[in-house]
Chains A and B, each alone.
Chain A
Amino acid sequence: MPEDPDSELVSRLRAGDEGAFAELAGKYQGAMLSMARGYVPSGAVAEEVVQDTWIGVLRGIDRFERRSSFRTWLFRILVNRAISAGVRERRSVPVDDMGPVVDASCFDAGGSWRVPPEPWADQVDDKVIATKIAARILAAIDELPLQQREVVTLRDVQGLSSEEACAVLDISHTNQRVLLHRGRSKLRQVIESEFGRTR
């Protein structure tokens, strides 16, 4: 297993360092809230779930055996509590969301681009535009279907490995890749429609 990026903070937390707790909270609070919101009916309940998770972390940190990374353990606790508090059931990938990630009308009969992607990727070298696009991505992640949002949040926003994301969400590698592919593709589409230039 690769080195746990939170190893040092976990040791400090175990030693009773309240600053380490605040640092971990700062690092994960946003993603935890966003994930919890997918399961429960309101933002207020999501906040309760997240707070409850942090209490669970404080209670359990001495028993945390580091067999997984801290963040895998943390998000597992969160998902379990969110499921207990939530009203939505976890589902496998909905079948109605299995079509192509780029609309078929964008391609000709031979499968070549008829309406090619409108360029924008070179614009991210400009810090101001990159910040604007990043903000739009953040908002668009919240609009993704629950499972895609979870996978994209864990993998792309939080930087978890595919192994970690599968362990948190209890899904297969294949399912995880499908969800990541669909989620990322939708984000690309949103950004293209707002930042792409017609050529």
Chain B
Amino acid sequence: MIRLWSLPRQSLACQQAVELVTDYLEGTLSPAQRRRFEAHLAHCPDCPEYLAQMRAIVALARNITSDDLTPHMRTEFISLYRQWRADEARDTQA
């Protein structure tokens, strides 16, 4: 079991800080928690790197998606669309 809240209120330990990173990035920390988190970052030699890594993960994941379809996939989707239109037209006529 981790002793998350056993330290004095003012000082956030690194072990606590890493558990708050996502809430910090999501903007869901209370103002008081946010101040404690930022105060910790300001004097900790290592947690800023941890936070930078989490930010980098998010930024890189966002850039993974490519909106470019290969020509082959594009052809497949266009024929799926046309097939569906043809089926619809037939069903309407029937």
Contact = CB atoms under 8 A, between A and B. Distances in A.
Interface of A: 16, 18-19, 21-23, 25-27, 29-31, 51, 54-55, 58-59, 99-102, 104, 107, 110-113, 116-117, 119-122, 124, 130, 133-134, 137-138, 141, 152, 156-159, 162, 177, 180-181, 184-185, 187-188, 191-192
Interface string B61-80: 11111111100011001101
B18 interface: yes
Given A27-B67, A116-B46, A22 B15 contact: no
What size tier do the contact residues of chain B reach?
A: 35 or more
Q: Is the interface of B mostly helix, strand, loop or mixed?
A: helix
Interface string B20-56: 0111001010000000000000000111011011111
A55 B53 CA distance: 40
A21 B82 CA distance: 11
B42 to A, nearest CB: 15
Contacts, number: 141
A162 to B, nearest CB: 7
A158 B65 contact: yes
B14 to A, nearest CB: 5
Interface of B: 2-3, 7, 13-16, 18-19, 21-23, 26, 28, 45-47, 49-50, 52-69, 73-74, 77-78, 80-82, 84-85
A124 B60 contact: yes
B57 A100 contact: no
- Of B3, B46, B62, B64, most A-chain CB atoms within 10 Å: B64
A187 B74 contact: no
B59 to A, nearest CB: 7
A181 B53 contact: no
A25 B52 contact: no
A137 B64 contact: yes
Closest 3 CB pairs of A and B: A111-B13, A26-B69, A181-B22
A110 B15 CA distance: 9
A169 B91 CA distance: 34
Given A110-B13, A134-B63, A137-B60, A191 B53 contact: yes
A71 B55 CA distance: 24
Given A158-B65, A184-B54, 7 more contacts: A54-B77, A116-B45, A124-B59, A124-B60, A137-B64, A180-B26, A181-B19
